[in-house]
């Protein structure tokens, strides 16, 4: 499978590279574009401030340009938190998308979004301050209306970015469960 994996608001940190290596070890081709051009951050607040300085349109433009050379191959879009929201936006606009793997995040859905049974898998903490229960319920219904085939996995007690071993949110049990399920999902595409 061809996978483009977008980083979180912390930037392209070692955890993203390790995740890409894990996916490659499972036989996938993986690209990890650096939307922050080498910048990484120690706190969510620093990353969000930098992200806001770039602006949503510029960030999406960078993501589209990063995906463009590979999109004809039929990409699986994937991402962590902010990167998941970017992956979702791109996948919903790419008729050749093969799947969408969301880790720790979702995004708004355009009213006219339409896909043909796009396989989508979301992994998120429960509770998650950035992905509230009400938001996720509405998101799930909207994705279904758009034509996506959605699976949601919740991890009780895990922190927001629980798959990143370099952050305080890390939860080894939840992270390993996520990767087991996600790798199985990718095998079905």
How far apart are alpha carbons 131 and 149 in whole angstroms? Answer: 19
2-6 sheet: strands from edge to edge: 29-31, 2-6, 75-80, 99-103, 119-126, 149-156
How far apart are alpha carbons 46 and 37 in whole angstroms? Answer: 15
Please report the pLDDT score of residue 111 as a whole number.
Answer: 87
Q: What is the pLDDT of residues 142-188, one digit of tens each?
A: 999 999 999 999 999 999 999 999 999 999 999 999 999 999 999 99
| Phi, psi for 145 (deg, rounded to 5) | -65, -30
Q: Which of 92, 88, 84, 97 is nearest to 124 (CA)?
A: 84
Q: What is the pLDDT of residues 39-71, one digit of tens each?
A: 999 999 999 999 999 999 999 999 999 999 999
Does residue 179 contact residue 163 with C-beta atoms inside 8 Å?
yes
Residues 23-39 have a mean pLDDT of 98
Burial 172-183 (b: 16+ CB within 10 A, else e): eebbebbbeebb
Instruction: Please check the confidence at residue 14 and state whether its pLDDT lies above 90.
Output: yes
Sign, CA dihedral 3-187-107-159, equals negative
Q: What is the pLDDT of residues 97-151, one digit of tens each?
A: 999 999 999 999 988 999 999 999 999 999 999 999 999 999 999 999 999 999 9
Residues linked to residue 184 through DSSP beta bridges, in sequence order? none
């Amino acid at each position: 499978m061809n996978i483009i994996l977008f980083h979180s608001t912390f930037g392209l940190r070692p955890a993203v590279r390790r995740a890409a290596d894990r996916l490659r070890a499972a036989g996938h081709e993986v690209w990890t574009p650096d939307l922050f051009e080498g910048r990484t951050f120690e706190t969510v607040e620093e990353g969000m401030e930098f992200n806001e300085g770039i602006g949503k349109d510029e960030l999406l433009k960078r993501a589209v340009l990063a995906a463009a050379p590979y999109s004809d191959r039929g990409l699986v879009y994937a991402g962590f938190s902010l990167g998941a929201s970017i992956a979702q936006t791109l996948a919903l606009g790419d008729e050749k998308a093969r799947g969408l793997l969301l880790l720790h995040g979702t995004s708004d859905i355009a009213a006219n979004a339409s896909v043909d049974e796009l396989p989508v898998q979301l992994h998120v903490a429960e509770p998650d301050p950035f992905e509230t229960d009400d938001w996720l319920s509405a998101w799930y219904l909207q994705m279904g209306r758009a034509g996506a085939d959605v699976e949601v996995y919740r991890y009780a007690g895990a922190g927001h970015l629980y798959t990143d071993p370099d952050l305080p949110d890390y939860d080894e049990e939840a992270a390993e469960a996520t990767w087991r399920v996600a790798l199985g999902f990718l095998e079905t595409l």
